[in-house]
């Protein structure tokens, strides 16, 4: 079946540190891949996406590259800020006509 696996959290970093959150997936066909972010007490917001192999999604200093050979979509940021503290969800759509499938989420906590 289709699924998304994220690294377990929480991830705790100091401000300006480098961030990597690992995400791997299992899917039939050619899924589209997404990262969503959830700030405390709020719903989710789309952070970035990639719709085909080797595409790189980027937004607000975050990047992720669609790697079909390793079925991965790892999230990276070169220098995190306190305001980046949130829960990050990796997700995919396996095919048309179905809903997004989410990973379990990774909590990021950044201290100054």
Partner 1 sequence: DGGITQSPKYLFRKEGQNVTLSCEQNLNHDAMYWYRQDPGQGLRLIYYSQIVNDFQKGDIAEGYSVSREKKESFPLTVTSAQKNPTAFYLCASSIQPGGRYEKLFFGSGTQLSVL
Site of interaction with partner 1 (CB under 8 A): 32, 34, 36, 41-46, 49, 51, 89, 93, 95-105
Shortest distance in whole angstroms from residue 6 CB to partner 1: 8
Shortest distance in whole angstroms from residue 112 CB to partner 1: 26
Pick the closer one to partner 1 by CB: 96 or 112.
Answer: 96
SS3 of residue 84 by DSSP: helix
Pick the closer one to partner 1 by CB: 46 or 82.
Answer: 46
Pick the closer one to partner 1 by CB: 3 or 14.
Answer: 3
- What is each CA distance from 57 to 3, 4, 28, 96, in whole angstroms? 20, 18, 21, 20
List the one residue out of 99, 33, 111, 40 whose CA is nearest residue 66: 33
Q: Residue 100 and residue 88: Cα distance in Å, rounded?
A: 15
Shortest distance in whole angstroms from residue 67 CB to partner 1: 18
């Amino acid at each position: 079946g289709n699924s998304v696996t994220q690294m377990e959290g929480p991830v705790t970093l100091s401000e300006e540190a480098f961030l990597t959150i690992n995400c791997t997936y299992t899917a039939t066909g050619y899924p589209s891949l997404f990262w969503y972010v959830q700030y405390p007490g709020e719903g989710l917001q789309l952070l970035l996406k990639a719709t085909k192999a080797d595409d790189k999604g980027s937004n607000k200093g975050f990047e992720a590259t669609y790697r079909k050979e390793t079925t991965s979509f790892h999230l990276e940021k070169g220098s995190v800020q306190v305001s980046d503290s949130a829960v990050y969800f990796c997700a995919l759509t396996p095919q048309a006509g179905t809903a997004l499938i989410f990973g379990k989420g990774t909590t990021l906590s950044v201290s100054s």
